[in-house]
Amino acid sequence: MKTIQQLTDEFLEQKLALPIWFEDGTLKLLDQLKLPFEEEVYTITAVPELADAIKNMNIRGSGAIGISGAYGLYLAALNSTGHEQSIREAGALLKSTRPTAVNLMKTIDEVLSIVNGKGTELITKVEQKVVEILERQLAFEHQLGEHGASLIKDGDTIMTHCHSGAVGGSGYGGRALSVIRKAFDLGKEIHVFTCETRPYLQGARITAYELKKFGIPHTLITDNMSAYCMSKGMIDKVVVGSDRVAGNGDLANKIGTYMHALAAKAHSVPFYTATSSHTIDFSSESGESIEVEMRNAKEVTHLNGTPIAPEGTNALYPSFDVTPNDLITGIITEKGVVSQPFSQNLKALELEKTFQ
């Protein structure tokens, strides 16, 4: 069976933009807060360090934090020499870091489902499960990219919000950028409008960084320019990522997504979300039951530690919003593009997975 180190070597040979990887017996993490000006790599030696990195946004993106959870449990297995309770405690800690990110929860639960026994045998079991998850996640990115690229026409201008790309996923293109990158790789002439995405500026810092690296023509806009651009016919399609999709198709994604979806509906611009089926939460019947992570208001009143508002200013930071399913044209998955009615068609997708 393939080891994590062997898989890492394969990924590095493919020149993937890895957000996190295992190398020479330690866990390596690209600090996304330093992008695009520095590509600083941290060495993670213990699970609490990884939990802090997830919570503090050093690593983010639904795919990336999902595989971080898997890596974290492998690290816990190694550090505890295969102690079952220590691995389970590590899983609980990691799940507490980002409550809206269902991919993290599901990935950890999948690894924990095989955690029984002890010692070297348990470490090997965890390693094999993590290898399986890592290979599957990367395959998902290519597959959903292919399905999404079929929606993109030659000459299209696509708008995206936040960052749902390689370092936010498994290294190829994450979610939304898998669609965009695959269309570009197929030779389609496209242009991308990327929203800056306050307050962390992931669109300006990371999406633009990756689009430049991939050679894809792009234009940066502020978040409040999307409706203007659509009204002027500058945008042909919107493709965003996802942090959770409810069973009825409601979408939890980076704050601001709902606003862009409303603008797209008003101007008859198709609005798609790209996700893996792993990120669809059938336990949430609708977006009303999705917990939205509330982050520190200082992240709004400060930019990279520098105050941008008068001292004592009150601020609010819901990290995500929920876009109602009637604003969504289609949900792009590794199984294909799911259309309305989402409650019915997503359920069919769930049944297909169940019987595989």
Is 203 in the same domain as 304? yes
Contact, 69 vs 45, CB < 8 A? no
- The CATH number of the domain holding residue 157 is 3.40.50.10470
Dihedrals phi, psi of 116, to nearest 5 degrees: -155, 150
Is 74 in the same domain as 194? no
Domain end residue (candidates: 102, 117, 140) = 140
Is 320 in the same domain as 219? yes
Which strand (E) or helix (H) includes residue 352? Answer: helix 342-354
Q: Give the pTM.
A: 0.90
pLDDT digit string, tens, across residues 227-257: 999 999 999 999 999 999 999 999 999 999 9
Could you tell me where the DSSP H helices lie in 96-225? 102-112, 119-149, 176-185, 202, 208-214
Look up residue 145 and give its two tokens: 């990219």
**CA dihedral sign of residues 222, 227, 229, 234:** positive
Which strand (E) or helix (H) includes residue 305? Answer: none
Is 119 in the same domain as 217? no
pLDDT at 352: 62
3-state secondary structure (DSSP) of residue 280: strand
Catalytic residue among 156, 243, 250, 281: 243
Is 209 in the same domain as 304? yes
User: How many helices and strands, by DSSP H and E, does the chain display?
Assistant: 13, 16
Is 126 in the same domain as 147? no
pLDDT at 277: 87
Is 122 in the same domain as 186? no
Contact, 150 vs 87, CB < 8 A? no
Is 245 in the same domain as 321? yes
Is 295 in the same domain as 151? yes
How many CB atoms are closer than 10 A to CB 36? 15
Domain end residue (candidates: 99, 118, 140) = 140
- The CATH number of the domain holding residue 129 is 1.20.120.420
pLDDT digit string, tens, across residues 50-64: 999 999 999 998 889
Domain end residue (candidates: 89, 106, 140) = 140
Domain count, the chain: 2
Instruction: Decide if 52 is catalytic.
Output: no
pLDDT at 351: 62
Dihedrals phi, psi of 31, to nearest 5 degrees: -75, 105
Is 219 in the same domain as 311? yes
Beta strands in 197-250 (DSSP E): 218-221, 237-240, 244-246
Is 97 in the same domain as 147? no
∠ CA 114-247-129, nearest 5°, is 15
* Cα 248 from chain centroid (whole Å): 20
pLDDT at 356: 36
**Could you give the CA distance from residue 331 to residue 352 in angstroms, rounded to a whole number?**
16
Which strand (E) or helix (H) includes residue 158? Answer: strand 157-160
**CA dihedral sign of residues 96, 132, 127, 351:** positive
Burial 341-356 (b: 16+ CB within 10 A, else e): ebeebbeebeeeeeee
Is 204 in the same domain as 77? no
**Could you give the CA distance from residue 144 to residue 165 in angstroms, rounded to a whole number?**
13
pLDDT at 196: 97
Low-confidence spans in the chain with pLDDT less than 50? 354-356
For the chain, state the CA radius of gyration. Answer: 20
Q: Which domain holds residue 329?
A: 142-354
Q: List, in sequence order, every residue forming a beta bridge with 330; answer none if it has no partner.
A: 272
Residue type, 52: D
